[in-house]
Amino acid sequence: MKLQTSSRLAIFALIELAADPDRQVSVSEIGQKYNVSSHHLAKVMHTLGRAGLVRSIRGVGGGYSFSGNAKRTTLFDVIMLFEDADSSEYTPEGSQDATLAEWALGQVLFEINDIAKATLESITISTMLKQMGRRQSTLAASGMKDASESAVQ
């Protein structure tokens, strides 16, 4: 499964902001960390703002902060803001005018889509942060640095 760039950026931005909901982070700061243009990221942040997941703070020292519920916001919720991840192209019944081969392939693709959707629906921003924390602990125990630590600071 491949996510569109906007979906990936939105997830990264939400993780960044939800990690410290009191902190205000500028678009350029997030853009620099993930090596993307501020212009593209600004559009993504605007969509997240309209969904109530981030809050924009204007003025000096302004930026964005997290305003959603990290334990309730799933990856699927975020992705659906940018692309149709709930495609009904394949169904268990299949199209009525499909050949048997098309029906059989449709069954396989439906199964794959259904598993992917269930996975994305079950993972929240909070779970992503926990997973990152566990990874960080593992890396720290083995004396290695994670990519974000060496990339930005």
Closest separation between CB of residue 104 and another protein, Å? 14
Give the separation between CA 141 and CA 144, rounded to whole angstroms.
8
Give the separation between CA 127 and CA 96, rounded to whole angstroms.
40
74-93 residues in contact with another protein (CB under 8 A) are 74, 76-77
| Residue 69 near residue 78 (C-beta atoms within 8 A) | no
Choose one: 22-30, 90-98, 102-110, 127-135; the region binding another protein (CB under 8 A).
Answer: 127-135
Closer to another protein by Cβ: residue 32 or 127: 127
58-77 residues in contact with another protein (CB under 8 A) are 71-72, 74, 76-77
96-115 residues in contact with another protein (CB under 8 A) are 114-115
Beta bridge partners of 150: none
81-107 burial code (b ≥16 CB/10 A, e <16): bbeebeeeebeeebeeeeeeeeeeebe
Using CB under 8 A as the criterion, which residues of the chain lie in contact with another protein when the complex forms? 71-72, 74, 76-77, 114-115, 118-119, 121-124, 126-127, 130-131, 134
